[in-house]
Amino acid sequence: MANTPPSIKLLIVDDDDDLRDDLVQLFRKQGHEVTAAVNGEDALDKAAHARFDVALLDLHLPGISGIDVLTQLKEQQPGLEAILLTAHSSIETAVEAMRRGAYDYLTKPFRVADLEVHVQKAFEKVQLQRREQQWLRHLSYESPRYRLVGSSPAMRKVISLIEKVAVTDSTVLVRGASGTGKELVARALHSNSPRRNRPLVTINCAALQENLLESELFGHEKGAFTGAVAAKPGLVEVAEGGTLFIDEIGEMAPGLQAKLLRVLEDGHYRRVGGTREMNADVRVVAATNRDLAEEIKNGRFREDLYYRLNVVSIFLPPLRERREDIPELVEHFLTTRQIGPLRSRVDAEALKALMAYSWPGNVRELANVLERAQILAENQVITVEDLPENVMLAAAGSSEAAGDPRHLREVERRHVQAVLHEEKGNKVHAARVLGISRRSLYRLIEKYHLE
């Protein structure tokens, strides 16, 4: 018996009653679940209450344009694919639609057979993405807050390495700039290992002086130094049977590096001030934002320790090199770090700014920016005005403007003033032309003292 093809959850948005009804009837006869919307507001409301696979969007809708509806739909449902329909063919519009995430672009009048093929191909892409997401979800996490987020090729590679090495006791070196999520990798390795029911213990080498770091790692005996009034176990002991995560290992002093090397080679160590040999049963994950090969050349890091740590190396790329993960990260942080009783969302222009910014502080900086934006946002809608100025500058997309904030502000002031003049001071119409909310327009008028 032949397999029945899966049903597509289809959203059709068009203000042409006849065309919309014809398309609804066509796809329902094929066994698909079809929802119709007469305009952008109606479509977004329906998308807030149901999940869709594919959307057919008329480009020229009353109120919110099809492209803006596309942007907001992708924010609400990142896995959805959309096909734009228009009677006004335009290369510029097509490029803009594809840039904002449209799967395809068809000009009216179109052949029904062509539309059916495009819908089916869009659905096949949705299914492929879902299979990839299911594969990514094979990892378990201690909580949603500490989940690794991202579907980019770079993150898929990271996830694949974690899956392969987590079940072993191999030492892992996690490399990456500050804020890229190195501790999350350590947590994922531990949570998916046979040691998951034992402790995960973290120590940051940059936070302690050498003598204190040694005591924290290996413990000390009573009287080992001034203030050592009692014996104290070190974190190696505390992590017995579990995982020890050593962050910023490039900051560790050479003398202590030798003692760590011994632990990695034969599991032996001594407490500070002690003579008794102790045995460690820990899996070590180390992390660094330094180039350890360069540190070795400069005599600041032991080569033998480097090779012992670097059994498996996992590299976390900076956020600017995986910008396609930003929308998913935004959704993640607005859910796991929600401020207030209601969840916020990011509007299209704000998301554009977040995508354009270079993120020198990486994922940690993005999380902090979104936390700040939630506090400033009105009605749980984060706009460009709720973002820090350096992120707002990125929205201009101009290297000249990014290098000279005064130039950007002058260009913005003139543009807003020109639109207000063209619309004879009608702020509703001006905001629509500018593609911003009335609240944003009022802020700009106040900012630039415009009449």
- Where is average pLDDT lowest: 160-164, 317-321, 429-433? 429-433
Closest CA to 302 of 244, 245, 248, 258: 258
Q: List Cβ neighbours of 18 (8 Å cut-off, separation of 6 or more).
A: none
Name the CATH topology of 321-447: Helicase, Ruva Protein; domain 3 (1.10.8)
Q: Grade residue 181 by pLDDT with cuts at 50, 70 and 90.
A: very high
What average pLDDT score do residues 111-120 get?
91
What average pLDDT score do residues 73-83 get?
89
User: How far is the C-alpha of 307 from the C-alpha of 309, rounded, in Å?
Assistant: 5
Q: What is the pLDDT of residues 6-57, one digit of tens each?
A: 889 999 999 889 999 999 999 999 999 999 999 999 999 999 888 999 999 9
Q: What is the pLDDT of residues 275-287, one digit of tens each?
A: 899 999 999 999 9
Same fold, 9-135 and 321-447: no
Q: According to the CATH classification, is domain 9-135 in 3.40.50.2300?
A: yes
Domain regions of the chain by residue span:
9-135, 144-315, 321-447
What average pLDDT score do residues 365-386 get?
93
What pLDDT does residue 217 have?
95
Q: How does DSSP assign 188-236, residue by residue?
A: HHHHTSTTTTS-EEEEEGGGS-HHHHHHHHHEE-TTSSTT--S-EE-HH
Spell out the CATH class of 144-315.
alpha beta
What average pLDDT score do residues 78-91 get?
79
What average pLDDT score do residues 221-235 get?
87
What pLDDT does residue 403 have?
47
Q: Is the pLDDT of residue 416 over 50?
A: yes
Q: What is the pLDDT of residues 306-320, one digit of tens each?
A: 999 999 999 999 999
- Does the pTM surpass 0.75? The reply is no
